[in-house]
Amino acid sequence: MKNKIAITSLASISPLGNTIDSIWKEYLSPKTLITQKECNGINQFMAEIPADIKTELEQLRQSEIKYKALDETVLMAILTSRQAIKQAKWKMGDDFGINIGSSRGATHLFEKYHQEFLETGKTATLSSPTTTLGNISSWVAHDLKNNGPEISHSITCSTALHAILNAVAWLESGLADKFLVGGSESPLTAFTFAQMNALKIYAKENQEYPCRAFDLNKTKNTMVLGEAAAMACLEKGEKQNALAYISGIGYATDDLEHNISISDEANCFQKSMKMALKNYNLSDVDAIVMHCPGTLKGDTSEYKAIQKVFGKNLPMLTTNKWKLGHTFGASGILSLEMAILMIRHNTFISVPFAEKQEERKQINNVLINAVGFGGNAVSILISKN
């Protein structure tokens, strides 16, 4: 990378809460935030955002007529984007780019409108403009009145980290000096649960930790869904208010045997990690926030990829999905948030049921991994300085 890229803010809404204090407090607790709740007559494991944040989202929905028809994904993106630019001390109407994505998009509204169509043969006037993928970034841009490019995309579960890749390209090219990036996902719906159950990857056993992400001895798939949105402000150059710096980026695509496959040793992750670390000694990486969705193949293949790249001297390994579930398109940037917190507090956040690891005295460089259906892997290296 030619330039230092500073992360000058990160705001999120997730089962962890929406303030740095609440998020850090939750991470220090070994208790999972995954609960069991009825959805469409079936009990499902899920991780929901807290009730007070849901109230805040509803207040935003009711604040203006134009917001009443928006999906939860968009409302969460608007709230977190407002928080992010405030933290970074950007102003409404500033020149900055926006790149926000989602794996599923306007999930609640799409299912609602489609159900109405099946029942009546007709659909509401706003069904199309409120469910298109570009709906997220365009509404955030409208709300923030920014002057700059606005981009939406979906690259399944690596969506948010792909937003960072794209922003870095804009910043490195000189076409932009600031970029707002992120992901938003609200997938706790009957049809989405049915899809995950059909793939036979969803958690079924009611145990202390329903999602056994990074349990390499598990014998069953244990993925659990969560809802969240998170946004980060990126700026070119060294900044006094930088939370951390992006010091390496990598990306790769796996050769697929079928629609949801990943190679046994996650070749895509091997390539993306090597690319992100090409200017670094492997020993400089203190920790990796793994993608680790809680599935048998997903967890073990990523671990094997890390072993292939790092050999016997592995960094500290962790993930957050055992605590807050898999938030699809928002998951990568929540992993970035976790990485930043570990660097800033110089404290490793471990997986409570994972094999104990030798902890390092300093956490200065953390690698973040994400991959989604389609085998689109991204690795982002962040550094303290």
Query: Which pLDDT does position 40 carry in this prediction?
Result: 87
Contact criterion met (CB below 8 Å) for 122 and 116:
yes
- How far apart (Å, rounded) are the C-alpha atoms in residues 293 and 215? 11
Predicted local confidence at residue 258, as pLDDT: 47
CB atoms within 10 A of CB 99: 26
pLDDT, tens only, 163-196: 999 999 999 999 999 999 999 999 999 999 999 9
Could you read off the pLDDT of 223-239 as tens digits, one per residue?
999 999 999 999 999 99
CATH of domain 5-236: 3.40.47.10
Answer whether residue 261 shows pLDDT above 60. no
Token output for 146: 């920014």
Q: Lowest mean pLDDT: which of 110-114, 160-164, 252-256, 315-319?
A: 252-256
Sheet holding 150-153, edge to edge: 150-153, 97-101, 178-185, 228-236, 5-13, 244-253, 376-383, 365-370, 287-289, 316-318
Looking at the domain that runs over 246-383, which CATH code has it been given? 3.40.47.10
CA distance 153 to 338: 23
Is residue 257 scored above 80 in pLDDT? no
If you average pLDDT over residues 258-281, what whole number do you get? 83
pLDDT digits (tens, 9 = 90+) for 65-102: 999 999 999 999 999 999 999 999 999 989 999 999 99
Task: Give the chain's mean pLDDT.
Answer: 94
| pLDDT above 80 (res 128) | yes
Predicted local confidence at residue 99, as pLDDT? 98
Return the pLDDT at 334. 98
Please enumerate in sequence order all residues whose Cβ is within 8 A of that of 367, keeping only pairs 6 or more positions apart, or say none.
273, 276, 277, 285, 287, 288, 289, 315, 379, 380, 381
Place of tokens 């699809």: 328
Q: What is the pLDDT of residues 350-364, one digit of tens each?
A: 999 999 998 899 999
User: What band does 372 get if pLDDT is binned at 50, 70 and 90?
Assistant: confident
pTM of the shown model? 0.96
Compute the average pLDDT of residues 262-286: 91
* pLDDT value at 113 more than 90: yes
| Predicted confidence (pLDDT) at residue 254 exceeds the cutoff of 50 | yes
Question: What would the mean pLDDT of 30-45 be, rounded to a whole number?
Answer: 95
Domain with CATH 3.40.47.10 in the chain: 5-236, 246-383
Confidence of residue 374 (pLDDT cuts 50, 70, 90): confident
Please report which confidence band the pLDDT of residue 373 belongs to, taking 50, 70 and 90 as the band edges: confident
Q: Which two tokens stand for residue 196?
A: 């995950």
User: Could you tell me which residues come within 8 angstroms of residue 106 by beta carbon, excluding any fewer than 6 positions away?
Assistant: 71, 73, 74, 130, 131, 132, 135
Residue 264 pLDDT grade (very low, low, confident, very high; cuts 50, 70, 90) = confident
